[in-house]
Structure 1
Amino acid sequence: MKQDPIFSSFLIKVASRCNLNCAYCYMYQHADQSWKDKPLVLSEKHQQLFVDRLYDYAQEKSLDKVLVIYHGGEPLIFGADKLVNFSKAIKKRLDTISCQVDFGIQTNGTLLKEEHLKLFVDENISVSLSIDGPKKIHNVYRLDHKGNPSFDKVYRALALLKKYPQIFSGCIAVINVNYSPRELFQFFSENEVEEFNILLPDANYTSPPIGRDQNPDVYIDWLIEAFDCWSAEFPHIQCKFFESIILALLGKSGQTDALGLGDVSLLNIETDGMYHDLDVLKITKEGYSSLGIGLETAPISAAAQSKNIEVHRKLLSKEGLSKTCLACKHVDICGGGSVPHRFGTEGFDNPTIYCKEMYALIDHISEKLIQLVDQELEKNESSSILFSQKEMEDFCIYSNSEKQIRKLQEYVAQKKRAQWERIAVEAKQRFPSQEALINQTNNQVSSVGERALMHPVSSSFLDALEQSLKGKVVEGMDGTPLPIDIDFLHLIGTKLLRKEEFVIQENHDWYTHALGKDIVFNHPQTAFDLGKKVIEDALGMIQEYDTHLYDEMKIISPYIYIVKDKNSPPDRDISFADETLPGAIFIGVWKGNRCLAPYKVAASMIHEHCHQKLYLLQERFEIIEPQDVEIYSPWPEKYRPPIAALHAVYVFIHVAKFLNHVAICDQNLQEEIDLTLERIDGCISEIQEKVQFTPMGALFFESLLKEWELLKSQSLCLT
């Protein structure tokens, strides 16, 4: 059985009248005219009843924090001193159960005085101001009952509020599509307003948006222009409307009623003490927001159980959306739009009356986000991520490489985060029944950061999932289609979290799929124990050889897997790494039925680590210019693409350095070292003759040649 909603916000109509007569007002200019029969202000009796009811409800639900918003009409008609006394009474009572109360007031500002603000500061009552922008825009609709403009009085209130920033919570503005959005943003920027929200004029299918009949695209054009203007010129101003859409696109919850999914969390109390649902529902029909009970007859928990609230909750879920909305690609972002804006003669079974506007705007913002990510990556490429010659030389060796490695990993982390955000949006559309799982994964990623996305398995799975969402068949290394199971996401950030310490043989079925059925991971316990001991001994040798290399491997290649290849000849030892599994190296420790010597296993681990290190560099930079050329590689004794030959030179230089170090342990290594040096020399000559590098690739190859010259000069075995 679905639990009752929890009210955490309480909108108190302390006054039922207003000294302004704004043309678009949902309270006075739409279907529900019941305000005419309401008391002018909330009585002392109902004030005390609210204090008692709120105390009981907070205690019943174990609430530790609530928000009380004073509203109207114009709440200052009630009196600033009365608002303060009311707030003191609420706070005093709820303090006894350690429930914090935040207070706010939404005002048109015309009655606001500095003495009021001093009182509000003492009680920490925040103030939000309704102002539609500069004078010529504001005075179009915000007039008093005699038709007089209100801007001058409201602007004086804005000037006062700027003197009390500790309680000034920003502005709200109803948009007027007949004026440029830039004028609106410029006004708030010049007046140092740090936060404001834009509101679409309240409308529905019985009362369509102002002016759209003459220009069907006028709201689309205005909103897109406004977003572009805000994001390019005024991002220093918080605009909840746009920020909420961005958050929704990133899989997070926003703070605007323009987006429809969520739950009921606000209870409205009118001046007669009656409980009401969301007050903007007054634009639908007479009395629709009323719950039929009030402070005098029922506790707040009874309001949460009312039929009207149940209907509203359904409308805030996918179950309550129209077929049009459910078929829309933006359903998880828009959520059907504002509930009052869906109303028509047959009820709420419609998308928002601003459907085409929201669709076009979300499309536009989504595209802009992708462009911004690309621009940020390009910006990084031209700034701090670029390596100087000295930095590239440091990268090629172990002792000074960590700074450069961290730079590269930070870049990869940004790419992975952007990839996950794309996947989350697309996956919600493709797998609507898994929305909770996707949100849970997003929360986990937000909690632990990019480490959740950079585990070898997470990275590989997300690459495959993204391709699958594009309709592509994704295959493992043996050509077998990979199983793409969305349930896999629950492991990301929980069981799959990248570490910077050696992890030997972390079991996961994904490796079997990705690498193919011929690669064996499961070994008899005795054989595995022997293999693990060899790996540990090999790591000890690497640490003794070069602690910087050992530490670097923990950062780049911490995941070590003991494997066999069913198709490999018994007398051949195998090892490999793959760029689709960043951070993992796969090592064979047996030759036939006997374990390899630890130094041989250590050489294989260094070899595969160097591949992973170069893959990391390739994630950020193109190394070789596109060209139709192949290089003879003497190790497999065949022609290969230039990048493969470059990999071979890089890894074997470092393997040869290590073998020189351990040659004293095995005099038979001299022949192997000599052959390796001869092959490196021949492959380098081929590369120098045939390969055209990018600027960063040229830096890398130049640094590599310095390593090569150093190796030749230090080699014990070079003839």
Structure 2
Amino acid sequence: MSGQAFRQFIVKMHGRCNLACTYCYLYEGPDGTWRTRPARTAPDVLDRTAARIAEHARAHALKALSLVLHGGEPLLAGAETLTRFTGLVRDRVPDGCTVHAVVQTNATLLTARRLAVLADGGVRISVSLDGGRAAHNARRVDHAGRPSWPAAARGALLAAEHAPSAYAGILTVVDASLDPVETYESLLGLRPPALNFLLPHGNWSAPPPHWAGARHGEWLCAVFDRWWDAGRRETRVRLFEECLALLLGMPSATESLGLAPFDAVVVETDGSIEQTDSLKSAYDGAAHTGLDVFHDTFDDALRHPAVAARQAGAASLAHQCRACPLLTVCGGGHYAHRYRAGHGFRNPSVYCADLQRLIRHIAARLAPHTPVAAPDTPAAPAVPAVPDPHAVFAAREEGAP
């Protein structure tokens, strides 16, 4: 019997990138499977993928699904290809199933015309940046070593100015060497409707940069205070909203926090069905399933042992995690961050101290506004107090970063 349905389909529209970021876990990390795959996803792969997505939506009576157009840099495939594929999926899913489509881009190839094509095709734009200034993005260079910031900033501002309804926001990986408040405020200059801060991918065998003394947790606490003290009016911050929602007893909607079953699947440029790219930061072939859209269904992927383990909730966690009072909020942290060579993924997150620091801090800031449980108790009451946590789930379905 298969597990909970996939609701997020990440489709690699192009397998290469026009940038050569020096820290990229995909192209500079331990997994080299991208080298043997075609650069561009062929039309027959896209056609079969759309059919498989529709098949899965029908089998599980999905009312909504998220379609993430990914890469590499997906705009290398052309904006028209992205919207054509999105239209194909929408045409094939059963009546009553809404497809929320978003493209995850580095923004360097965005133009007014491409924005118009994407917006007209109902594809929202999520931008990946390291910060809102050139100095923050010094390691994001092209293959000739030239800085990407001028083109990326131009693309992000084009989205804010010319396609605000299609602008989903900005995704940023935390750099603990940068000033947190300065980084946050610099990103506000690009007028994002939402931000998502991600912890850099690392694990016990390959620790993340600047990993000591819960520096990443302290960094996030500083940004949270700046955002919270501004009344949360400047922009939405998904990580913080998810943590608040979980503290208020609501279900999680992210892989990074909470115990909700894993619901994302990847289709590579050759049609291979894989787990999410983040696993590729652990070891070569970590995301491999041996399945593909030509021979296998997404229900077959649900039955794959590695996927089943990720859907097992607390049962798949280390003993320390299952005994932790923060379990229902932390959820063990991001799956990829639990890896230790020779011991697999059944370990606490390498960011355990950082997550504890952040969760306890947010709980303390929230406490005066609602009778949320103290962070040393295992569960929090479902009190729908400010801020309204429902907004994050609606935004997630609309393709926010």
**Alignment partners' CA distance in 2, 1:190 and 1:16:** 31
Judging changes above 3 Å, is the alpha-carbon distance between structure 1 residues 64 and 362 closer, same or farther for their aligned structure 2 residues? closer
The residue that corresponds to 1:672 in the other structure is none
Please, which runs of 5 or more residues in structure 2 have no aligned partner? 386-401
Give the whole-Å Cα distance in 1 for the aligned partners of 2:201 and 2:290. 24
Q: Is the 8 A contact 1:74 1:107 kept in 2?
A: yes
**Number of aligned pairs?**
382
1:249: which partner in 2? 247
- Say whether residues 1:265 and 2:263 are aligned partners: yes
Which of the residues 357, 360, 364 maps onto 2:357? Answer: 360
Partner of 1:168: 167
Q: CA deviation at 1:422?
A: 2.0
Superposition misfits of 4+ residues, deviation over 4 angstroms: none
Instruction: Give the residue type in structure 2 aligned to 1:335.
Output: G
What is the DSSP-based 3-state SS (H/G/I as helix, E as strand, rest coil) of the residue aligned with 1:106? strand
Q: How does 1:496-507 map to 2 (within 5 A)?
A: none
Question: Once the 2 structures are TM-superposed, how far is the Cα of residue 258 of structure 1 from its aligned partner?
Answer: 2.2
Name the counterpart of 1:228: 225
CA distance in 2, matches of 1:302, 1:256: 23
One of 135, 145, 153 as aligned partner of 1:147? 145
1:422 matched to 2:351? The reply is no
* Contact 2:167–2:192 under 8 Å retained in 1: no
Normalised to the residue count of structure 2, the TM-score between the two structures is 0.90
Report the residue type matching 1:62 in the other structure.
A
**Structure ranking higher in helix proportion:** 1
1:325 correspondence with 2:324: no
Task: Name the CA distance, whole Å, in 2 between partners of 1:217 and 1:313.
Answer: 28
Is 1:276 the counterpart of 2:274? The answer is yes
Q: Call closer, same or farther: CA 1:147–1:331 in 2, change over 3 Å.
A: same
User: Aligned partners of 1:263, 1:75: CA distance in 2, in Å?
Assistant: 27
Residue 207 of structure 1 corresponds to: 206
Alpha-carbon deviation of 1:295? 0.8
Contact kept, 8 Å, 1:127 with 1:167, in 2: the verdict is yes
- Structure 2 letter corresponding to 1:422: A
Q: CA RMSD for the aligned pairs?
A: 2.1
Counterpart position of 1:18: 17
Tell me by how many angstroms 1:202 deviates.
0.8
Task: Tell me whether 1:216 sits opposite 2:213 in the alignment.
Answer: yes
Q: CA 1:100 to 1:220, structure 2 compared with 1: closer, same or farther past 3 Å?
A: closer
How far is 1:24 from its partner? Answer: 2.7
Q: 1:349 to 1:113 in 2, by over 3 A?
A: same
Q: What's the CA shift string for 1:333-374, capped at 9, x where partnerless?
A: 11111000000111112111111111111121111212x42x
Q: Distance in 1 between matches of 2:295 and 2:331?
A: 35
Change over 3 Å in CA distance of 1:350–1:45 after alignment to 2 = same
Shift of 1:227: 1.6
From the CA coordinates, give the structure whose radius of gyration is larger: 1
Q: Does 1:337 align with 2:333?
A: yes
Partner of 2:290: helix, strand, or coil? strand
- Alpha-carbon separation, structure 2, partners of 1:58 and 1:222: 40
Amino acid at match of 1:178: S
- The letter for the 2-side match of 1:332 is T
With the length of structure 1 as denominator, give the TM-score of the two structures: 0.51
1:202·1:209 contact (CA, 8 Å) conserved in 2? yes
What SS does structure 2 have at the residue aligned with 1:422? coil
Q: Name structure 1 gaps, 5 residues minimum.
A: 374-417, 430-437, 448-719
For residues 365 and 229 of structure 2, what CA distance do their matches in structure 1 show?
Answer: 11
1:134·1:183 contact (CA, 8 Å) conserved in 2? no
Mapping of residues 36-75 of structure 1, within 5 Å: 36-75=35-74
* 1:453-510 deviation per Cα after TM superposition (whole angstroms, max 9, x unaligned): xxxxxxxxxxxxxxxxxxxxxxxxxxxxxxxxxxxxxxxxxxxxxxxxxxxxxxxxxx
Task: For residue 23 of structure 1, report the CA deviation from its aligned partner.
Answer: 2.6
Q: What are the within-5 Å matches in structure 2 for residues 66-465 of structure 1? A: 66-94=65-93, 97-162=95-160, 163-212=162-211, 215-233=212-230, 235-236=232-233, 237-314=235-312, 317-345=313-341, 346-370=343-367, 372-373=368-369, 418-419=370-371, 421-422=372-373, 428=378, 442=382
Aligned to 1:635: none
Inter-partner Cα distance in structure 2 for 1:256 and 1:142? 26
Larger deviation: 215-224 or 305-314?
A: 215-224
Deviation of 1:427 after TM superposition, in Å, equals 5.7
Over 3 Å counting, the alpha-carbon distance change for 1:320 and 1:180 in structure 2 is same
Q: Distance in 1 between matches of 2:214 and 2:331?
A: 21
Q: Check whether the contact 2:2–2:299 (CA below 8 A) recurs between aligned residues.
A: no
* Aligned partner letter, 1:310: A
